[in-house]
Amino acid sequence: MFSPEKIEKMRRMGLKITPQRLAILEYLEGNLSHPTAEDIYRHVRKRFPSISFATVYNTLEALKEKGLVRELYIGGTKKRFDPNTQPHHHFFCLSCGNILDIREEIRIKIPQKLREKTIIKEISLLLVGICWNCLPKNLTKS
Ligand code: ZN
Ligand code: MN
């Protein structure tokens, strides 16, 4: 279930709550798979066969605008959506194609020069490689 607080927040923000939108929210809540709009569409269509891809897409855009989901910027792949709006890092696996949350804290040092000429609002890293689920299948680290 999507948390009542988020639904309340949506109402206050003037987002119309329809059963289709609720189904999208429910699918996203606690979803750690970073689904694409197509994934979400395929899932919600099972319950609402008449829903259009545009409805799903527009709902995601609206949620994103209101800060209720975030879009991940991962080069070369389709847009992925993440209901976890807290800053966190990701691992993109070249073997299984999954995008996994990294729970460990990663400390990085931003060079002074870069800090001076930019405004950095958030640091979210994308690590690319072979994930912990795939590694045993891919022989050993070399
Ligand atoms: Zn993997
Ligand atoms: Mn995530």
Q: What is the pTM of this model?
A: 0.76
d(CA 26, CA 127): 28
pLDDT value at 16 more than 70: yes
Band of pLDDT at residue 137, cut at 50, 70 and 90? low
Q: How far is the CA of 29 from the centre of ligand 2 (A)?
A: 12
| Each residue's pLDDT tens digit, 40-63 | 999 999 999 999 999 999 999 988
- Residues near ion ligand 1 (Cβ under 5 Å): 93, 95-96, 131, 133-134
Q: How far is the CA of 69 from the centre of ligand 2 (A)?
A: 10
d(CA 38, CA 80): 10
pLDDT of residue 9: 75
Least confident of 12-16, 84-88, 126-130: 12-16
pLDDT value at 138 more than 70: no
Q: How far is the CA of 51 from the centre of ligand 1 (A)?
A: 32
Q: Which residues contact 138 (CB under 8 A, 6 or more apart)?
A: 95, 130
Rounded to an integer, the average pLDDT of 98-111 is: 92
**Proximal ligand: closest to the CA of 69:** 2
Bridge partner residues of 82 (DSSP): 70
pLDDT of residue 17: 84
Q: How far is the CA of 108 from the centre of ligand 1 (A)?
A: 24
Q: How far is the CA of 84 from the centre of ligand 1 (A)?
A: 21
Q: How far is the CA of 95 from the centre of ligand 1 (A)?
A: 5
Domains of the chain from N-terminus onward: 4-80 (1.10.10.10), 86-141 (3.30.1490.190)
